[in-house]
Chain A
């Protein structure tokens, strides 16, 4: 049996939900609008038109970077990435090359594994091509409503080693950018697009790199990766071809057939002839601006989840609630209601969030009052399992009380009443 390990790097494109486009005043919200109704000389790339960068988009990108533990480049600029494609009216895309807004970050998976992030940069989206039959003729139409919409690219290092890790990484990114309020990241509207690059290490031999383009669902990304693992394994067994500079492939994913298919065989690395965009002066991001953005950052999903768990919410419930702003507000505004039980009632949709929370909670929990005997058993178990902590407490380090309470809450799966738990522990430790 050969030993196979997976090497995955992820590129994620996120469209920002700013009011206007990246370099002009056209509305950025393009979904479902009549074709070419949200355009101007700038996003149509007309002769003489010039780009003026959107301040909000720059700040939003910095927010994403900070949330992903990146360093913010104080001296940065835009570059022109030059290639020909009909959906790119200027013949170049304004992007960032050697000085991205943010770089060198990481994202921590639940296992504690850190996925390093290479960069977070800002660019403009392209127009959209539609290949249709019109009056019995195959035609290609271009809609420029999307042209110039701010697009953030988040690029990971190839640190992801399994489909599960890839999926977790993507879900976390999704939750973070949504929590930041910089995008609705609606996958169905193409506001978040996933591009995994995959190859395998088979007994020390590396298979050719495959870049999967424009996947718009976490499940499809996972299925595509799985497909690639078997495809690349089989291919390697057959031809023994190893990764080289000239054999990187671009493949698409067909969700109906559940296969990936060859789009482009790269003869060599594409030469985009990048150079600094002369129409936009270099940007200087001052430390005070970074500080200001940092101070305005909302709490991130991971922080919310650990806080909820500490309050006694079940991890599974905490994960769901971390994505639900209304539910979080309800939890916060009812501090005297047992958070663990309230959370599980909310998650199970037993509570009408717009109604009186306390009344509903009391009604729903009246029958199943906490069994004191059971609670005592939980407390005893926790105390027995943590003799060192108990000792510290007895030596006067009362701060460890929180840990013990948390442990009991966890054991009770968030069902216990925190007040009674506290009282019971203090009593037992006297």
Chain B
């Protein structure tokens, strides 16, 4: 094999393991070496699992015995808001510094059952409150494309780790953009399954009504494979769907997009957006057309309304979800909450208070219903809609200072889809100022297969899926 281990996708690694080109121990050692070499400058990992090699040794025996599991021998990284037994879980916060969970999250449990090895826990905005990873109480993660820039967030550690090839795939979680936006800023693939498709059990809650775990990967095929391994009903999550899970990675079969209707949402080409970004989105639309899709411009509710709804609903839920960190348990007092968490708790408590509930929370829920029904109508006619993931490329370090609405502004184009529980892929579609731009391809709830298939074909027929040169060696 000519390629180095870190240049291989998960699907290629599995093939290599099956063919005996390398062992799981070799893969794990290779990645641990890279983490040792690069993590000090990127700060993508908050914790590295030194036991990974021992686990890989066991798995190599399983492989030798002919055991077959979907991710057997594959190392991966897990965002630090997924509870992992034997590894600290902090959600990027000091409140949970040194917290070792008493149980395993469903997602990481399914990874382990699928034969994967958890290499470590990735950095994130504290409590997933943000789109920069700059609000992590353990220092920001830097963007591998340019260390002076932010990786996006809140799953910034996962995105940077995949982009710098410190791990072949990582799991993130998205409340509104927290998977797709950092993936876009780091030039990798992000996939948000529908709300309810992947269990939230054991994920430290941000906004319960939109939280959706999803993979950040080298390509769409890997994202599909990983999603197949973790999706599906969970008796521990009442909001998880009992709909049958498809083997997404085996269904990526399209050779063209004939018969596919795609909407280009006018309102998502924001007036404030840079022309270069708009051009890339128009180029993507043309490319999809060239593949046989019918692309039409449509009009949807201005995404600024989604910001309003999201701000109120999410903060209301946050204020409630963080109440359990009351200073009695977990060893740290509430004064350890940083400003962003405090702001969200205060605003959320306010919007739920007697006298304000009707004006804020209830109204937000009503508008949310309107957004949901607008999408329902859209998907009666279209298979998917496209737009940019984020209004622009990665912003510079420090951009979040004095910007309490930073996340909302950077996630404006994906917030409506999150509020409606839709599924969406984010794939690289070009570069602006040498930094990657992401294209979102978003579809109706539980249409994972269709969206992954379209995104896969787009990716296979374009040349934007690159990795930063600095970390190629």
Question: Does A49 sit within 8 A of B, measured CB to CB?
Answer: yes
CB distance from A282 to the nearest CB of B (A): 11
A401→B102 CA distance, assembly (Å): 72
Instruction: Determine which of A52, A84, A90, A274 lies in contact with B236 in the assembled complex, contact meaning CB atoms within 8 Å.
Output: A52
Chain A residues with CB under 8 Å of B353's CB are 271, 273
Question: Does A316 sit within 8 A of B, measured CB to CB?
Answer: no
Say yes or no: A278-B238 contact (C-beta < 8 A), given A46-B103, A273-B352: no
**Inter-subunit contact B323/A46 (CB<8 Å):** no
A49→B102 CA distance, assembly (Å): 11
| Chain B residue at minimum C-beta to C-beta distance from A279 | B208
Chain A residues with CB under 8 Å of B200's CB are 48, 50
Chain A residues with CB under 8 Å of B105's CB are 48
CB distance from B423 to the nearest CB of A (A): 18
Contacting A at CB under 8 A, from B287-343, are 316-317, 319-320, 322-324, 326, 328-329
CB distance from A429 to the nearest CB of B (A): 66
Say yes or no: A92-B320 contact (C-beta < 8 A), given A47-B83, A86-B328: yes
A48→B209 CA distance, assembly (Å): 14
**Inter-subunit contact B201/A49 (CB<8 Å):** yes
A305→B96 CA distance, assembly (Å): 59
Say yes or no: A89-B324 contact (C-beta < 8 A), given A41-B102, A47-B83, A49-B201: yes
Proximity string of chain A (46-72) to chain B, C-beta cutoff 8 Å, 1 when within and 0 when not: 111111110000000000000000000
Chain B residues with CB under 8 Å of A91's CB are 320, 322-324, 326
A195→B211 CA distance, assembly (Å): 39
**Inter-subunit contact A280/B209 (CB<8 Å):** no
CB distance from B271 to the nearest CB of A (A): 34
**Inter-subunit contact A48/B208 (CB<8 Å):** no
A271→B317 CA distance, assembly (Å): 16
Question: Does B235 sit within 8 A of A, measured CB to CB?
Answer: yes
Chain B residues with CB under 8 Å of A274's CB are 352, 357
A86→B329 CA distance, assembly (Å): 10
A48→B205 CA distance, assembly (Å): 6
Instruction: Determine which of B82, B201, B324 lies in contact with A90 in the assembled complex, contact meaning CB atoms within 8 Å.
Output: B324
Question: Does B354 sit within 8 A of A, measured CB to CB?
Answer: yes
Q: Looking at chain B's contact residues, is the secondary structure mostly helix, strand, loop, or mixed?
A: loop
Say yes or no: A89-B239 contact (C-beta < 8 A), given A47-B83, A49-B202, A275-B361: no
**Inter-subunit contact B208/A47 (CB<8 Å):** no
Say yes or no: A47-B357 contact (C-beta < 8 A), given A52-B237, A278-B208: no
**Inter-subunit contact B238/A52 (CB<8 Å):** yes
A50→B205 CA distance, assembly (Å): 9
Question: Does A103 sit within 8 A of B, measured CB to CB?
Answer: no
**Inter-subunit contact A41/B103 (CB<8 Å):** yes
Chain A residues with CB under 8 Å of B201's CB are 48-50
Say yes or no: A82-B320 contact (C-beta < 8 A), given A271-B354, A273-B352: yes
A82→B353 CA distance, assembly (Å): 10
**Inter-subunit contact B324/A281 (CB<8 Å):** no
| Chain B residue at minimum C-beta to C-beta distance from A84 | B326
Question: Does A80 sit within 8 A of B, measured CB to CB?
Answer: yes
Instruction: Determine which of B83, B319, B352, B357 lies in contact with A48 in the assembled complex, contact meaning CB atoms within 8 Å.
Output: B83
| Chain A residue at minimum C-beta to C-beta distance from B96 | A47
**Inter-subunit contact B237/A50 (CB<8 Å):** yes
Question: Does A45 sit within 8 A of B, measured CB to CB?
Answer: yes
Say yes or no: A275-B357 contact (C-beta < 8 A), given A48-B205, A52-B237, A280-B239: yes
A192→B320 CA distance, assembly (Å): 29
Contacting B at CB under 8 A, from A20-42, are 41-42
**Inter-subunit contact B317/A278 (CB<8 Å):** yes
**Inter-subunit contact B352/A50 (CB<8 Å):** no
Chain A residues with CB under 8 Å of B349's CB are 273
**Inter-subunit contact B320/A89 (CB<8 Å):** no
Chain B residues with CB under 8 Å of A82's CB are 320, 323, 352
CB distance from B399 to the nearest CB of A (A): 29
A278→B329 CA distance, assembly (Å): 24
**Inter-subunit contact A50/B236 (CB<8 Å):** yes
Question: Does B203 sit within 8 A of A, measured CB to CB?
Answer: yes
Chain A residues with CB under 8 Å of B207's CB are 278
CB distance from B158 to the nearest CB of A (A): 17
A53→B353 CA distance, assembly (Å): 26
A392→B352 CA distance, assembly (Å): 67
A273→B89 CA distance, assembly (Å): 29
**Inter-subunit contact A51/B354 (CB<8 Å):** no
Proximity string of chain B (80-106) to chain A, C-beta cutoff 8 Å, 1 when within and 0 when not: 011100000101000010010111010
**Inter-subunit contact B320/A80 (CB<8 Å):** yes
Chain A residues with CB under 8 Å of B236's CB are 42, 50, 52
Proximity string of chain B (350-361) to chain A, C-beta cutoff 8 Å, 1 when within and 0 when not: 001110010001
Chain A residues with CB under 8 Å of B77's CB are none
CB distance from B26 to the nearest CB of A (A): 33
| Chain A residue at minimum C-beta to C-beta distance from B83 | A48
| Chain A residue at minimum C-beta to C-beta distance from B327 | A84
A367→B394 CA distance, assembly (Å): 103
| Chain B residue at minimum C-beta to C-beta distance from A90 | B324
Instruction: Determine which of A49, A84, A89 lies in contact with B329 in the assembled complex, contact meaning CB atoms within 8 Å.
Output: A89
Proximity string of chain A (79-104) to chain B, C-beta cutoff 8 Å, 1 when within and 0 when not: 01010101001111000000000000
Contacting A at CB under 8 A, from B90-148, are 91, 96, 99, 101-103, 105
**Inter-subunit contact B326/A278 (CB<8 Å):** no
**Inter-subunit contact B323/A47 (CB<8 Å):** no
| Chain A residue at minimum C-beta to C-beta distance from B209 | A278
Say yes or no: A281-B238 contact (C-beta < 8 A), given A46-B102, A47-B204, A273-B352: yes
**Inter-subunit contact A48/B204 (CB<8 Å):** yes
A356→B204 CA distance, assembly (Å): 64
A52→B208 CA distance, assembly (Å): 14
A45→B357 CA distance, assembly (Å): 25
| Chain B residue at minimum C-beta to C-beta distance from A86 | B328
**Inter-subunit contact A47/B324 (CB<8 Å):** yes
Beyond known contacts A48-B82, A275-B316, A279-B239: 19 more, CB 8 A cutoff: A42-B236, A46-B101, A46-B103, A48-B81, A48-B101, A48-B203, A49-B202, A90-B323, A91-B324, A91-B326, A92-B320, A92-B323, A273-B320, A273-B354, A274-B352, A275-B320, A278-B209, A278-B317, A279-B238
18 example contacts (A-B, Cβ-Cβ < 8 A) are as follows A42-B236, A46-B101, A47-B91, A47-B101, A48-B83, A48-B101, A48-B203, A52-B238, A82-B323, A82-B352, A91-B322, A271-B354, A273-B357, A275-B316, A275-B320, A275-B357, A278-B209, A279-B238
9 shortest interchain CB distances as A-B pairs = A91-B323, A278-B208, A273-B352, A278-B209, A48-B202, A47-B204, A52-B238, A271-B354, A90-B324
- B-binding residues in A (CB < 8 A): 41-42, 45-53, 80, 82, 84, 86, 89-92, 269, 271, 273-275, 278-281
